[in-house]
Each structure stands twice: as C-alpha cells, then as structure tokens.
Amino acid sequence: MPGFEWLGKEETKAVNEVMQRGVLFRYEFADQRQGVYMVRRFEEEFAAYTGASHALAVTSGSAALKVALAAMGVGYGDEVITQGFTFVATWEAILDCGAKPVFCEVDESLCLDPEDLKKKITDKTRCIVPVHMMGAQARINEIMDIAKQAGIPVLEDTAQAAGCTLKGKHVGTFGAMGTFSFDSVKTLTCGEGGMVISNDPELYQNASEYHDHGHDHKPVGRGNEGRRFMGMNFRMMELQGALGVTQLAKLDKMVATQRANKAALKEALARVPGVSFRYLPDEAGDSATFLAWFHETPEAATRFAGLLAEEGVPAIPWGKNTWHAYPHWEHLHAGASLAKSGWPFDRPEGRAEYDADALPQTDAILSRCLSWQIMLGWDEARLKHMTEVINRVAAAM
C-alpha cells in the first residue's frame, strides 16, 4: 500500500527543483518561482485523474475533512452520520466543527450499512459521511439514493482509497465532496497532505477560501480584500505538491501492483475452510490496499491470527484495533477533552455521550475479520512464502 516504497529519483528531482527555486509557499512570488506552482499543478492533475471539476490540496486528510465540512456549512446543532469503522480523524473533524457524529453500523463491505443509515437520519442530520475503508468502495450508490430522498448531502471520506473506482467512476466523485489523505502510509504519499474534490464550484470556492484565512484566490492570487468569512490555515506547501505530482504519475501502476499481489494471496486464502471475504461492490475497481477476510467465529479468527504471527506474517485483527474500531475509542466514550468546559462533549443542550456497546453488528463483524496491508515491494519469493504459510496454518486449524 504505501507509496513510500516507490519513492525514488523522480521525487528527489522534483523536491530539489522546488528547493532551487527557493519558494516553499504555494501562493505568490511569481518571479522567484519562475512561474512554477507545484501545488496548483497537483490539484489540476488530481482533478483530471479523478474526473472532478475542482481539487484543493491541504495539509492532511484530517484537514481535508474539516475544510469540506466547513465548506458545506456544518456546525453546532448539526448531526453528521458516519460509520463505526473508520480512522478516528473522521469523527474528530465532525466534533471539531461543533457538530455531533452519529455512528452507523458497517456490514460485510466493511463500510457504512445503508439499512442502518435509514434508521439514523433525523431532522438534525446535515451531512452523511461514508468511508471507503481499506481501499474498496462503500455501497455508495445505495447511500446516495437514501441521501437524495432525505435531501442530505454526502461527503465521501476517501482517505484510504485513491485510485479506487466503481464501474469506472472514481470514488470521491459521487457525493457533493470527497476527501483524500496522502500521509506516510497511503498509496499516494506526500509524507503528509490531503485533497478535497468537488464538482460544485460554490463548495469549492468555500473550501478554497476557508483553507487560507478567508482569502478568495480569484483568479489565482491571494490577499484580496472583501473576505466573506473567517477561515484557518490548512495550506499545502510546494514540497508536498512536488511529491504529489510525482507520485500521482505512479498511482495507476501502484494500484495494478497491489491488485496482483492481493489476488495471489486471496487465491490461497480461498482454499482455507471457513474463510470468506468482504463484499466488494466492484472488485475490478478495488485499489487493493488491503486483503480482508472473515472467519466463522471470533475464536477461529484469533487462532488463525496467532498462527500467522508465529510464522512471521501477522495479520491485523480489526476486532482489537484501537485506531479504527468504535468499541475501542476510549477517549470518545469517555468524552475526553482538553477544554475546561468539556467542549465538544459538554454542550448547552446536554452532554454528547457514546456507548461503547452501541454498534453490536460492527463489533461482531470486526471480531471475525483479519487483514493484511498489501505492500508494493512484495516479490514472487515473498508471495510464495506467504502462500506456504497460509497452507501450513490452514492445516493446523
């Protein structure tokens, strides 16, 4: 999965050229930078790659979520529905906007369950945030239908799924906005960084202004007067933009490599009694950053994981994961905050409370789920060794 495996002379050259120009800031200094704007170029090329009309580069995937939610007008008094299997940044951004996250179950797609979504919508629901977890598609068409009927916009958290498509259409382009992460373990990496995409020019303009203290950037400048609203600083710098341009050129080959490596291991796992795989709305469009599978019981998953670890090829037991699984977000359940007022959990209308046992379906699914992160650097020898391990572990079960 991580693009850092393929960092090479192309990235070094691109970064060195930025350093030689001496401008790290994404705006201004036209003469000194010789008319070269790497962040702007990254945005233009990423928009073209995904098929979006607009793209805005920011400092991280977490920042992308915050900027997109702000652009959509999400704030205090609003509820935002998301899923109970995601990285903590999804709900942190919601809380940071002043809104309340409302958590949905996931199904065996390991993404938001449309049936539970229907139950969670209220008159306070301002936005729905499905997450394309682990490189594969959520049931986004079903989610979009439900959202359209309710008149609620969708923001796609596509942090882990750059290069993923559904029937040829890039995820992140189905909803009103989509967000991506380019941190150190993502397929396309800038070390840190993120992107917001949209086909809505008004939402894009809101995001563009908000991410840079309210400056309007019309047409491409900065510092114009007449700011419409306050913002913050979530600007990407030129070094990240240079890395992004270079890595984007490799993304299709990265995804193809991940798909080949995943297919080899999936074929071996498919022969293991009691193993089944996550539901993929479009297997051909999966970016293949992870191979996830289920055992019939939590006990079987735990035993299989233990045997894999003994063989030196440990799998991720999602039922015990503290970064992505709702039952283990102890700081959310405790309502822990640095604010002396208790914000954003303590509110004028009452405390926002989150019960660790509130998503039994998600807990049950994750307790049977294991996965491997698919690496770009695996060669035939590595894949053969992992296949042999699968065979030995299966025989020992």
For 353-381, the pLDDT digits (tens) are 999 999 999 999 999 999 999 999 999 99
Interval 35-60 mean pLDDT:
98
Residue 218 has pLDDT above 90, yes or no: no
pLDDT confidence of residue 326: 97
pLDDT confidence of residue 217: 83
Supply 353's token pair.
């409370």
Compute CA 6 distance to the chain's CA centroid, rounded to the nearest angstrom: 20
Mean pLDDT of the chain: 96
Name the pLDDT band for 226 (thresholds 50, 70, 90).
confident
Interval 326-341 mean pLDDT:
97
Dihedral angle over CA of 190, 191, 193, 195, nearest 10: 40
Q: Where in the chain is the domain with CATH 3.40.640.10?
A: 3-250
CATH class, range 3-250: alpha beta
Q: Are 355 and 333 in contact (CB under 8 A)?
A: yes
pLDDT confidence of residue 2: 83
Looking at domain 252-396, its CATH architecture is: Alpha-Beta Complex (3.90)
Name the pLDDT band for 220 (thresholds 50, 70, 90).
low
Find out whether the peptide bond into 2 is cis, omega within 30 degrees of 0: no
Query: Quick one: angle between helices 9-21 and 238-248, nearest 10?
Result: 150
- How far apart are the C-alpha atoms of 136 and 289, rounded to whole Å? 8
Compute CA 90 distance to the chain's CA centroid, rounded to the nearest angstrom: 8
Catalytic residue annotation? 186
How does DSSP assign 38-84, residue by residue?
HHHHHHHHHHHHHT-SEEEEES-HHHHHHHHHHHTT--TT-EEEEES
Q: What are phi and psi of 380, to 5 degrees?
A: -60, -35
- How far apart are the C-alpha atoms of 24 and 141, rounded to whole Å? 40
> Radius of gyration (Cα) for the chain, nearest Å?
22
For the stretch 162-188, pLDDT in tens is 999 999 999 999 999 999 999 999 999
Supply 78's token pair.
């609003």
Q: Where in the chain is the domain with CATH 3.90.1150.10?
A: 252-396
Residue 133 has pLDDT above 80, yes or no: yes
- Bridge partners of residue 55, in order along the sequence: 197
Quick one: which of 110, 80, 104 has its CA closest to 92?
80
Q: Are 246 and 14 in contact (CB under 8 A)?
A: yes
Interval 41-62 mean pLDDT:
98
pLDDT confidence of residue 219: 67
Query: Residue 387, Cβ neighbours under 10 Å: how many?
Result: 16
DSSP H or E segment with residue 292: strand 290-294
- How far apart are the C-alpha atoms of 356 and 338, rounded to whole Å? 21
- How far apart are the C-alpha atoms of 347 and 332, rounded to whole Å? 15
Name the pLDDT band for 222 (thresholds 50, 70, 90).
confident
Q: Please tell me which residue, 368 or 216, carries the higher pLDDT value.
A: 368
pTM above 0.85, yes or no: yes
Q: What letter would DSSP give residue 277?
A: E
